[in-house]
Amino acid sequence: LWARKHWVGYARQFLDPRPRTPALEVAAEPLLWAGLPREEALARARELLLELGLREELLEAFPTAFSGGERQKVNLARVFLHPLPLLLLDEPTASLDPGARKAVRARLWALKEQGVAMVGVFHHPEDVAGLVDRSLRLEVRDVAFRG
């Protein structure tokens, strides 16, 4: 738990938000936990959520009712707002529209320039073209499921 809180950030493909918690607060939580004043944390979360393409009217809405892409934007904002030294990314752009994918790519570049190490799985190789230092291509062949 200590490593997860202080060293390893994780953005998975899906967000399971707490019920009755607005998107803005869900995104700002890591900043609040880090001790940032509430108003500053909410302002930074608002700015990033809008940058990622979340519509203004959804900032105070509950993510439990969001589409997969909208939830993914909230989830990514949580990780991008308070980056830790190592960031694990599980298909972070899979449900995003092209504009949001472009914003994520820009944010990943900024994090890389800050020295954040990243390990990720991506559906869209073009999202990380030129950004990746080392890549592995994985293919699944002839998989049989037995039940």
**93 assigned to some structural domain:** yes
**41 assigned to some structural domain:** yes
For residue 94, the enclosing domain spans 2-124
| pTM for this predicted structure | 0.86
Per-residue model confidence (pLDDT) at position 147: 58
At 46, list the tokens.
């608002």
Q: Is 68 helix (H, G, I), strand (E, B) or coil?
A: helix
**120 assigned to some structural domain:** yes
- Strands 86-90 and 8-11: what pairing? parallel
Q: pLDDT 10s digit of each residue in the chain, 147 long?
A: 667 677 898 888 777 878 899 999 999 999 999 999 999 999 999 999 999 999 999 999 999 999 999 999 999 999 999 989 999 999 988 889 999 999 999 999 999 999 999 999 887 888 888 888 888 777 777 666 665
**56 assigned to some structural domain:** yes
Total domains in the chain come to 1
List the beta bridge partners of residue 118: 87
Per-residue model confidence (pLDDT) at position 1: 65
**139 assigned to some structural domain:** no
CATH for 116: 3.40.50.300
**114 assigned to some structural domain:** yes
**134 assigned to some structural domain:** no
**Per residue in 97-116, pLDDT tens?**
999 999 999 999 999 999 99
**118 assigned to some structural domain:** yes
Per-residue model confidence (pLDDT) at position 132: 86
d(CA 57, CA 76): 18
